[in-house]
Amino acid sequence: MSGRGKNKTLAAVLAVLGGTLGLHRFYLRGLGDWIGWLHPIPAALGWWGVDRVLTYGQDDKLSWVLIPLLGMTIAASCLTGIVYALTEREKWNRWFNPTLPVDANAGATHWLTIGTLVLALLMGTVAFMGSLAFGIQRYFEYQIEEARKISQ
C-alpha cells in the first residue's frame, strides 16, 4: 500500500465510471480480487443483449433477460459508489487504510466526492428504472401474446 492510502473519492469515481469492469475493487483490493474479475461478465452479457436487440429486433426473448443484467450491473456499481462516498472518514480508514491514522486525509469527503455521489444517484436510478421498465414491459407483452394464442 502506498504511503498516501486508498482515496475514498477515487474509489467512488472508479465505482461509478468503471464499476461494471470492477475497477474500484482492483484499486482497493488489488488485481487478485476474484470478485472484481466477475464484474465484467453480467455487463458483457447485457451488452450482448443490446446487440441482439439491434440485430434481431425487440422480439428476441433472450435479449429480454440479458438487457436488464446490464442495467442492474450499472445500478449496483452506482450503489457501491454511493456507499463509498457516504462512508465516514474514520470507518473508511479502518477498512482500507489500517496502517494510517483514523483521521487520515485519504478517507475525507471533498467536493468531487459529493459530485460523484450525485452522479451515482442519477446514473443508478436511470439504469435501475430503465432495466426494470424494460423487463416488465417485455414480460407483459409476452403474456398478452400467449393469451392471444390461447384465445384463438
Return the domain boundaries, the chain: 8-151
The mean pLDDT value for 14-34 works out to: 96
Which amino acid is it at 128?
F
Kind and range of the H or E run holding 109 = none
Full-model pTM: 0.86
In 3D space, the residue among 21, 25, 1 whose CA is nearest the CA of residue 11 turns out to be: 25
Name the one residue in this structure whose C-alpha cell is 459529493. 114
Q: Give DSSP secondary structure letters for 112-138.
A: HHHHHHHHHHHHHHHHHHHHHHHHHHH
Instruction: Give me 47's grid cell.
Output: 451488452
60: left (phi over 0), alpha (psi -120 to 50) or beta: beta
Q: Tens digit of pLDDT for each residue in 33-73? A: 999 999 999 999 999 999 999 999 888 889 888 999 999 99
Helices (H) and strands (E) in the chain, counts: 7, 0
Asked if residues 66 and 112 have their Cβ atoms less than 8 Å apart, the reply is: no
In 3D space, the residue among 91, 87, 114, 115 whose CA is nearest the CA of residue 103 turns out to be: 91
